[in-house]
Amino acid sequence: MPFVDTKRKTPEMSQAGLSPTHTVTATDENGQQRTVEIAGEAPLTLKVDNREIVTLMTLGNQPEALAIGYLRNQKLIQDIADIRSVQVDWERETVFVETREGSGVLDRERELGRRIVTTGCGQGTIFSCTLNDLYDIQLPSIPIQQSVIYELLAALSRHNQIYRSAGAVHGCALCRGSDVLLFVEDVGRHNAADAIAGHMWLDDIPGEGTIFYTTGRLTSEMVMKAGQMGIPVLLSRSGITHMGLELAQAINLTLIARAKGRHFLVYNGAEHMRWDATV
């Protein structure tokens, strides 16, 4: 029997997270100067084996996970074991990802061709459409207790530290039951979702049986990302779009939105709800 290395290969990583907020002086409506916190924002160019892929505008507090999750959600990298290292260099505003030999990442990038995007700088929330693949997904039906939704919303309200101090960020979380497994805030909700995807790979957390929470809207893109990660439930403070709903219906994703306090609306998958907290 051959020797089996049971240790997962994870990349060598820098730990170059920026402080997420800056203290500045603003003038309030009484003409008085006040010291306030604002959210950071920095351009981060993602290079894979020295080939430029995209520039993301990010809070910059979890750049390594963001880079990994972006490559995962763009389907440029199929397995985290294909990544040798992830090194952030803020002086060059660049994250350098090095792949292992034979990972074929750059072939895939060439193959995807026009789907992949490079921007000289600026915001790049680009989603390489994998709609055809997406319709093959059928998420498993899992029951969701109403009481768990309420416990989870209470737990989540303790996590959005950057938003509370500085605003201008969205939060995304991966949850199991009422446990918040991961919580990421970023200036773009797509970045926050990508960083969650990166952490899921790094920590070997599968999507099944989890709930993905976001403060942002449930658009087609958020539904696609959840579906690709195998996450069966999306929960949001905000509303949904029609295309988000249609995709959720197609892949059996439970869509719960406008969730604040005791209120929420189930737009898809109401048959999975267990109404154990109805007054």
- Name the site residues for its own copies (rule: CB under 8 A): 22, 24, 26-31, 34, 36, 38-43, 52, 55, 57, 114-115, 117-129, 131, 146, 166-168, 187, 190, 217-221, 224, 238-245, 258, 262-267, 270, 273, 275, 278-279
For its own copies, the closer of residues 8 and 22 by Cβ is 22
For its own copies, the closer of residues 68 and 193 by Cβ is 193
Tokens of 8: 């997962």
Beta pairing, strands 12-13 & 83-89: parallel
CB of 279 to its own copies, least distance (A): 8
For its own copies, the closer of residues 6 and 33 by Cβ is 33
Cβ(39)–Cβ(20) under 8 Å?
A: yes
CB of 256 to its own copies, least distance (A): 9
Cβ(185)–Cβ(171) under 8 Å?
A: yes
CB of 125 to its own copies, least distance (A): 5
For its own copies, the closer of residues 205 and 243 by Cβ is 243
**Of 10, 124, 2, 15, whose CA–CA distance to 64 is shortest?**
15
Assign residue 54 a region (left: φ > 0; alpha: ψ between -120 and 50; beta: otherwise): beta
Partnered with residue 36 across adjacent β-strands are 24
The C-alpha atoms of residue 258 and residue 267 are separated, in whole angstroms, by 10
Residue 111 main-chain phi, psi, to 5 deg: -60, -45
CB of 43 to its own copies, least distance (A): 8
Three-state secondary-structure class, residue 123: coil
- The amino acid present at 232, given as its one-letter code, is P
For its own copies, the closer of residues 6 and 27 by Cβ is 27
CB of 59 to its own copies, least distance (A): 8
CA dist 210 to 68, 143, 167, 190, Å?
Answer: 20, 11, 27, 18
For its own copies, the closer of residues 11 and 216 by Cβ is 216
CB of 255 to its own copies, least distance (A): 9
Tokens of 115: 């789907």
